[in-house]
Amino acid sequence: MVEHQAATPGTCWYRVKDVMAGKLWIGAALAAVAGLLLLLMSPVVHAHSGLNEGQNPLAAWNSNPLPTLLLLVAANLYLTGLSRWERPSHPVRLWQRVCFFSGLFTLFVAFQSPLDALAEHLFFFHQIQHIMIRMFAPLLIFIGAPLTPMLRGLPRWALLGVVRPLVRNPRVRRAYDLVTNPVLTTVLFLSVLYIWQVPVAHNAALRDGALHGFMHFTMLTSGFLFWWLVVDPKPHRSRLHYGLRILYLGLIVIPNTMLGAGITFSGNVLYQAYAEVEKPLNLSLMTDQQIGGAILWVLGDMMSVIVAGIVMIMWYQHEEGEARGMPLPGERRYP
C-alpha cells in the first residue's frame, strides 16, 4: 500500500516556484531564440554601423537585443541559484555578488551602450571596449564565484539531462583539459590580441559586421579561459600554483607592452578604416591611434599588476591556512 505524503504549505510553495521558474526559463529561451533570429535575419540593421551622420553619440545605443537577453539569463541563473542554496559550503559574499553584477554591467556597456558605436569611429574607444571585454568583465564575473550559483540556478531537466552527462563524458573531459591548458590559454589570450591589432585584420573587422562580431567573440572567449586559471573561483581549483599564476601575469605584460608601445610610437597611420567614417571628436587619425596604443599599453599592464597583487593575497591566505593545518574551504593543497 502506497502512502501519499500530505501537501504542506512549504511543499506547495516550492512547487509553485518550480512552475514559475520553468515558465520563466521557457520565456527567456524563446526571447533568446527570437533575438538570435532577429540578429541573423537583419544583418544590416544590427551590423556594427556606428554613428549615423549628425547623430548624437549619447543616443547611439545598440538596438540588437541579444546581448542584453543573454546577460539577463546569466543574472537570473545566478540569483536563482543563490536563492536555492540554503546551506552553502563556500558562501558567496556580498562583495563577490557586487563583482559579478559589475562584470555583467561591464559587458552591457561594452556591447549595448554608445561606446559600441563610438568604437567604430575612434581607435581609442575601440581599445577601451576591448579591454572591458577581454579583461575587466571576465575577471569581475569570476571573482563573483558564479559556478555553483549558476549550476544551481539551472532547471532540473537541464542540470540532470544536459550538464551531468556532459561532465561525465570522457571526450568532454579531455576537451576541457585541452582548452584549459595553461600554456594554450595564455598563447590564445595573447594571439587573439595580436591578430586583431594587425592592420589588415582590424580594418577588415571595422568594415564587416559579422567579422567584427567574431572578433568580439574570440576576445571574450579567450578572456574567460585565461582568467579561469588565474582567479580560481570556488569550487573550481586552478591547475596552476599561485606562484605560477603570478609568473603568467608577469609574462603577458611584456608582449602587451611591446604591442601598445609599437602602436603608440608608430610613425604611420596603421588603421585606415577610421578615415572612412565621421570623426565625432576633433582628433587626427595619428592622435587617435597614439591615445589608443597608450590605453592598450598602460591599462593592460595595470590590470596584470593589480591582479598579480590579488593573487599574492590569495597565496598568503592559503599559506596561513596551511600553517594552521586548516586550508580555506574548497581550497586545494599544493605540494
If you write DSSP's letter for every residue of 95-151 in order, what string do you get?
HHHHHHHHHHHHHHHHHHSHHHHHTTT-HHHHHHHHHIIIIIHHHHHHHT--HHHHH
Bigger pLDDT: 62 vs 322: 62
Find out whether 151 and 93 touch, Cβ atoms under 8 Å. no
Rounded CA separation 29/22 (Å): 11
Q: What is the pLDDT of residue 327?
A: 52
In this model, does residue 335 exceed pLDDT 70? no
Rounded CA separation 273/170 (Å): 46
Find out whether 34 and 28 touch, Cβ atoms under 8 Å. no
Return the closest-CA partner of residue 67 out of 30, 35, 99, 102: 35
Rounded CA separation 185/191 (Å): 10
**Positive/negative CA dihedral, 38, 42, 45, 47:** positive
Burial of residue 330 (CB within 10 Å: 0-12, 13-18, 19+) is: middle
Return the DSSP state at 268: S
Helix 182-197, helix 242-264: angle, nearest 10: 10
Cell of 261: 608601445
Q: Which residue has the cell 544536459?
A: 162
Q: What is the pLDDT of residue 326?
A: 53
Rounded CA separation 88/98 (Å): 18
Least trusted range by pLDDT, from 28-32, 83-87, 269-273: 28-32
Helix (H, G, I), strand (E, B) or coil at 86: coil
**Positive/negative CA dihedral, 37, 31, 51, 203:** negative
Share of the chain above pLDDT 90, in %: 60
Model confidence, pTM? 0.81
Taking only Cα atoms into account, the Rg of the chain, rounded to an integer number of angstroms, comes to: 23
- Secondary structure of the chain: what % helix, strand, coil (to 5)? 75, 0, 25
Q: What is the pLDDT of residue 42?
A: 38
Backbone angles phi, psi at 278, to 5 degrees: -65, 140
User: pLDDT, tens digit, for every residue of 71-110?
Assistant: 999 999 999 999 998 888 888 999 999 999 999 999 999 9
